[in-house]
């Protein structure tokens, strides 16, 4: 049965994609997509319950024993990412009911979207390195499609940059896999842990580790490999950019966390030291880049980069507390960032643009939306008692415990600059009057579009607040996840001993 | 392209290629061949046809959209994986039913999920190669 | 044989880097194709180059007879080639569409998605 618990979160979105494509011209297509998203969430919660009860669970596909077959495995980190993916998927599927026009639905929007979710989920669950590459490609090809769907000039321009840099990163990742196989003769991640530790040529292993760091680094958008991200995330439809912002870069971070706690731990002093500096520069360049922008989504895109820095910092510091902070940050950030992009979509519908200089007056005419913006925005900046505060608190505390005062200072300083950006959006989009004298009241948008667009924003904001006020269970969960990452003996024995 | 020899020859060539692609698909599990190579050959058949008689006629000969073929293939492949649930095996475990015997040597032929999966792969490859090929043909 | 393969991989990467430094997107794409072939060769070589029969199990036996080539890297390379082919074909289609709409292949001129006044600052 475990096998099926692990398969369902991947199989359901795939099946939904097939059905949604066949029904893409019928009005029922979008409802199939929505039902599929609900079922995915059910499947992933079932998996979560199983992991909470039994610890790490693994299954061999097609009954081929590890390390020869493909293993699916869920530990605490993997399963929480699957659940949060399903939640984000559901939120954006509801949002899409309001936002996505029929013209784009007919091109197969829902099928591509569900394939993307399947790819992301697969990447979180797989225990085989080559299989991870395949899931990356599934994710990539559907994200290419989603990015240029509709085919405006801006989208094509952004698509070229996104596609080109992501393909380069994929090829570097693939070469890394090839070399690693040449050295160790295995690609099962649990098996690799021992094989890499016993490899004769540790220098070559470090070189391969750096190839993986670059490959995943491009996906995650860390300094200096992030240029594709702010060049593309502001062009597709808002539902798409929300799901990109929430999930895609996090897959890179997740893969990094997995590989640099499970496999490449032979030379932590070297690899993780590099990662510390990369993280600090990522945080700073991201937040400074955002300060120069005046487009709602461009500011948010640069903030993704700066926040990625915190997550990789959690990995780089490599203490139980820091990793715990990193995991907590990962989950919190997906919810908050997806929500901010969804808010920008509503702001665009109401005020007519995402260029902050050309909109305004949203606070006066739509105070409810303003309140919903405040929650994720302040959570992003790390205000207590919202979820972002606890995430930042854990990471800064971990830095201070290591006497890394400089690191802690940068982390706090970047938080301060984040507030600056968020108040800029607040001041320009919500506070100042609309430059064209338009009164952007919500009633300008028909309820049929407005309601599905507002519902997910409300839901995600409630989650942010709940995590903020009752962080106990979430922090404990992150603690267990971090313990499992630092001591993966459970993971290794479960994978290599898993039958059926 | 308007070469009479090519147009006349293409009809026979297309039929041969297509039959050969099905042959490759069906012998796939025990001998070299399989869904992937079969799908490629099938796509080549349609591309030859569209070179000979023009993309419009090739499309009407295909009757359904190539993207539709690919996505249906994906669905068939997925179903082939899910069948093993009924038998209590892990995802994608091959299920075999031997007709007139109990093993490869003694039976006449077998019904199995591996072939179903291969048919899915065949359709995915055929559909996606054709949709890419048509994308370029339309633009030139 | 390994040394020769390593040399070929090196040459391919060198050529692809040269191509990818060009401003023209088509050259970049050709560089990408060479690079992806280099990666495929790396995987292929990592399975060790042995003189051996194809890894096929003879009729009625459980194990292959004699020395056979390592089948796993070949399977991996096949997968990687297929996926790479799909992605590169998609990218070519995207490049074609972009050329049709933007009327340029010069990546320096592809600034449609950038904010307008950032362009003016640069001039």
**What would the pLDDT profile of B100-125 be if each residue is shown by its tens digit?**
777 767 777 777 888 888 999 999 99
Please spell the DSSP secondary structure of B58-96, one letter per residue.
HHHHH-S-HHHHHHHHHHHHHHHHHGGGTTTPPTT---E
Please name which of B12, B16, B36, B13 lies closest in space to residue B24, comparing C-alpha atoms.
Answer: B36
- Chain-centre distance for alpha carbon B104: 24
pLDDT at B134: 82
Q: What's the rounded Cα separation, in Å, for the pair A332 and A457?
A: 15
Q: Is residue A318 part of a domain?
A: yes
Please name which of C77, C94, C79 lies closest in space to residue C5, comparing C-alpha atoms.
Answer: C77
Cβ atoms of A40 and A11 closer than 8 Å: no
Residue C23 in 3-state DSSP? Answer: coil
Domain segments of chain B as ranges: 4-139
**Could A21 and B91 be called an inter-chain contact, meaning their C-beta atoms sit closer than 8 Å?**
no
Q: Which residue has the higher pLDDT, C17 or B55?
A: C17
Q: Verify cis geometry, omega within 30 degrees of 0, for the bond prior to A385.
A: yes
Chain A CB within 8 Å of residue B75 CB:
yes
**Could C93 and B128 be called an inter-chain contact, meaning their C-beta atoms sit closer than 8 Å?**
no
Q: What is the pLDDT along chain A (500 residues), one digit of tens a residue?
A: 678 888 999 999 999 999 998 888 888 888 999 999 999 999 999 999 999 998 888 888 887 877 788 889 999 999 999 999 999 999 999 999 888 888 888 888 999 999 999 999 999 999 899 999 999 999 999 999 899 888 888 888 888 989 989 999 999 999 999 999 988 888 888 889 888 888 888 889 999 999 999 999 999 989 888 888 988 888 899 999 999 998 999 999 999 999 999 988 888 888 888 999 999 999 999 999 888 888 888 999 999 999 999 999 999 988 899 999 999 999 999 999 999 999 999 888 888 888 888 888 888 888 888 888 989 998 988 888 888 888 889 999 999 998 888 999 998 999 888 988 888 888 888 888 888 777 777 777 788 888 888 899 999 999 999 998 998 899 999 999 999 888 888 888 888 875 43
Q: What's the rounded Cα separation, in Å, for the pair C111 and C123?
A: 13
- Mean residue pLDDT across chain B: 84
Answer yes or no: is pLDDT of C12 > 80.
Answer: yes
pLDDT at C122: 44
| Residue reference for tokens 């090929």 | B133
Q: What's the rounded Cα separation, in Å, for the pair A280 and A286?
A: 10
**% of chain B residues with pLDDT over 90:** 21
Q: Which residues of A touch B (CB under 8 A)?
A: 3-4, 7, 11, 14-15, 17-19, 21-22, 59-63, 108, 111, 500
Q: What is the mean pLDDT of residues B8-24?
A: 90
Q: What is the mean pLDDT of residues B61-85?
A: 87
Cβ atoms of A66 and A496 closer than 8 Å: yes
Please spell the DSSP secondary structure of A211-250, one letter per residue.
HHHHHHHHHHT-TTS-THHHHHTTSS-HHHHHHIIIIIHH
**Could A7 and B91 be called an inter-chain contact, meaning their C-beta atoms sit closer than 8 Å?**
yes
Domain with residues C2-50+70-112, CATH architecture: Orthogonal Bundle (1.10)
Q: What's the rounded Cα separation, in Å, for the pair B129 and C4?
A: 33
Q: What's the rounded Cα separation, in Å, for the pair A257 and A447?
A: 43
**Could A157 and C113 be called an inter-chain contact, meaning their C-beta atoms sit closer than 8 Å?**
yes
pLDDT at A499: 47
Chain A residues 160-199 with a CB less than 8 Å from chain C: 160-161, 163-164, 167-168, 170-171, 174-175, 177-179, 181-182
Q: Which residues of B touch A3 (CB under 8 A)?
A: 90-91
pLDDT at B138: 62
For residue B69, give the chain A residue with the closest CA: A22
Q: What's the rounded Cα separation, in Å, for the pair B62 and C4?
A: 46
| Mutation for A interface: C5, C38, C46, C74, most A CBs within 10 A | C46
What are the pLDDT digits (tens) for C77-98? 988 998 898 889 889 888 888 8
Please name which of A82, A156, A409 lies closest in space to residue C25, comparing C-alpha atoms.
Answer: A156
Q: Which residue has the higher pLDDT, C119 or A431?
A: A431
Cβ atoms of A488 and A262 closer than 8 Å: yes
Number of H helices, E strands in chain A: 22, 2
Domain segments of chain C as ranges: 2-50+70-112
Q: Which residues of B touch A29 (CB under 8 A)?
A: none
pLDDT at C121: 45
Cβ atoms of A68 and A75 closer than 8 Å: no
Q: What's the rounded Cα separation, in Å, for the pair A45 and A51?
A: 10
- Give the range of the structural domain holding residue A365, as residue numbers without chain letter: 268-490
B vs C, Cβ pairs < 8 A, gives 14
Total number of domains in chain A: 1
Q: What's the rounded Cα separation, in Å, for the pair B126 and B46?
A: 9
**Could B139 and C90 be called an inter-chain contact, meaning their C-beta atoms sit closer than 8 Å?**
no
pLDDT at C116: 67
- Give the closest-approach CA distance of B19 to chain C in angstroms: 23
Cβ atoms of A315 and A272 closer than 8 Å: yes
Chain A CB within 8 Å of residue B96 CB:
no
Q: Which of A15-29, B45-59, C50-64 has the lowest mean pLDDT?
A: C50-64
- Give the closest-approach CA distance of A333 to chain B in angstroms: 33
């Amino acid at each position: 049965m475990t096998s099926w618990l692990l398969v369902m979160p991947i199989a359901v979105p795939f099946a939904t994609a097939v059905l949604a494509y066949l029904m893409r011209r019928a009005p029922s297509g979008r409802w199939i997509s929505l039902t599929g998203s609900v079922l995915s969430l059910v499947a992933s919660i079932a998996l979560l319950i199983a992991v909470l009860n039994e610890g790490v669970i693994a299954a061999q596909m097609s009954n081929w024993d590890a390390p020869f077959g493909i293993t699916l495995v869920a530990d605490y980190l993997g399963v929480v990412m699957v659940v949060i993916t399903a939640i984000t998927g559901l939120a954006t599927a509801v949002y899409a009911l309001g936002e996505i026009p029929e013209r784009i639905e007919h091109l197969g929007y829902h099928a591509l979207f569900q394939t993307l979710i399947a790819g992301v989920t697969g990447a979180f669950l797989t225990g085989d390195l080559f299989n991870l590459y395949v899931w990356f490609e599934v994710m990539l090809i559907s994200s290419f499609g989603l990015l240029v769907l509709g085919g405006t000039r801006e989208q094509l321009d952004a698509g070229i940059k996104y596609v080109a840099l992501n393909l380069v990163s994929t090829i570097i990742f693939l070469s890394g896999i090839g070399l690693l196989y040449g050295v160790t003769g295995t690609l099962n991640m649990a098996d690799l842990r021992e094989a890499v530790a016993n490899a004769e040529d540790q220098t070559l292993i470090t070189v391969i580790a750096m190839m993986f760091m670059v490959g995943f680094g491009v996906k995650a958008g860390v300094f200096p490999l992030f240029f594709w991200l702010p060049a593309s995330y502001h062009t597709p439809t808002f539902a798409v950019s929300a799901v990109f912002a929430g999930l895609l870069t996090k897959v890179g971070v997740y893969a990094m966390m997995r590989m640099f706690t499970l496999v490449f731990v032979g030379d932590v002093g070297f690899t993780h030291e590099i990662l510390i500096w990369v993280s600090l520069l990522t945080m700073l360049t991201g937040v400074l880049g955002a300060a120069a922008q005046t487009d709602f989504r461009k500011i948010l895109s640069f903030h993704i980069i700066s926040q990625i820095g915190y997550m990789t910092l959690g990995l780089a510091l490599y203490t139980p507390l820091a990793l715990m902070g990193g995991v907590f940050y990962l989950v919190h950030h997906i919810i908050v960032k997806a929500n901010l992009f969804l808010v920008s979509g509503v702001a665009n519908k109401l005020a007519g643009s995402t260029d902050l200089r050309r909109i305004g007056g949203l606070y006066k005419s739509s105070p409810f939306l303003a309140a919903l913006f405040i929650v994720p925005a302040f959570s992003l900046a790390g205000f207590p008692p919202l979820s972002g505060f606890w995430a930042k608190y854990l990471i800064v505390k971990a830095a201070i415990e290591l006497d890394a005062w400089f690191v802690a200072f940068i982390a706090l300083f970047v938080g301060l600059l984040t507030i600056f950006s968020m108040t800029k959006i607040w001041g320009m989009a919500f506070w100042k009057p609309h430059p064209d004298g338009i009164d952007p009241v919500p009633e300008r948008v028909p309820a049929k579009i407005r309601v599905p667009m507002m519902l997910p924003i409300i839901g995600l904001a409630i989650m942010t607040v709940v995590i903020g006020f009752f962080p106990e269970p979430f922090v404990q969960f992150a603690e267990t996840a971090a313990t499992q990452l630092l001591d993966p003996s459970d993971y290794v024995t479960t994978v290599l001993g898993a039958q059926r | 392209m308007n070469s009479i020899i090519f147009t006349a020859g293409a009809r026979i060539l297309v039929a041969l290629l297509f039959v050969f692609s099905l042959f490759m698909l069906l012998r796939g599990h025990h001998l070299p061949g399989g869904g992937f190579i079969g799908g490629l050959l099938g796509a080549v058949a349609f591309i030859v046809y569209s070179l000979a008689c023009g993309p419009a006629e090739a499309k009407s000969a295909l009757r359904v959209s190539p993207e539709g073929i690919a996505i249906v293939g994906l669905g068939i492949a997925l179903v082939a994986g899910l069948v093993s649930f009924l038998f209590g095996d892990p995802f994608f475990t091959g299920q075999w039913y031997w007709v007139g015997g109990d093993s490869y040597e003694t039976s006449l032929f077998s019904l199995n999920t591996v072939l179903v999966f291969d048919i899915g792969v065949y359709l995915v490859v055929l559909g996606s190669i054709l949709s890419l090929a048509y994308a370029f043909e339309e633009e030139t | 044989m390994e040394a020769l393969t390593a040399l070929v991989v090196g040459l391919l990467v060198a050529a692809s880097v040269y191509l990818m430094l060009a401003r023209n997107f088509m050259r970049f794409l050709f560089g990408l194709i060479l690079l992806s072939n280099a990666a495929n060769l790396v995987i292929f070589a990592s399975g060790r180059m042995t003189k051996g029969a194809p890894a096929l199990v003879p009729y009625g036996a459980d194990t292959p007879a004699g020395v056979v080539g390592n089948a796993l890297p070949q399977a991996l390379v096949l997968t990687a080639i297929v996926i790479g082919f799909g992605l590169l074909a998609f990218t070519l289609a995207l490049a074609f569409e972009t050329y049709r709409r933007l009327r340029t292949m010069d990546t320096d001129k592809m600034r449609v998605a950038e904010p307008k006044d950032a362009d003016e600052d640069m001039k």
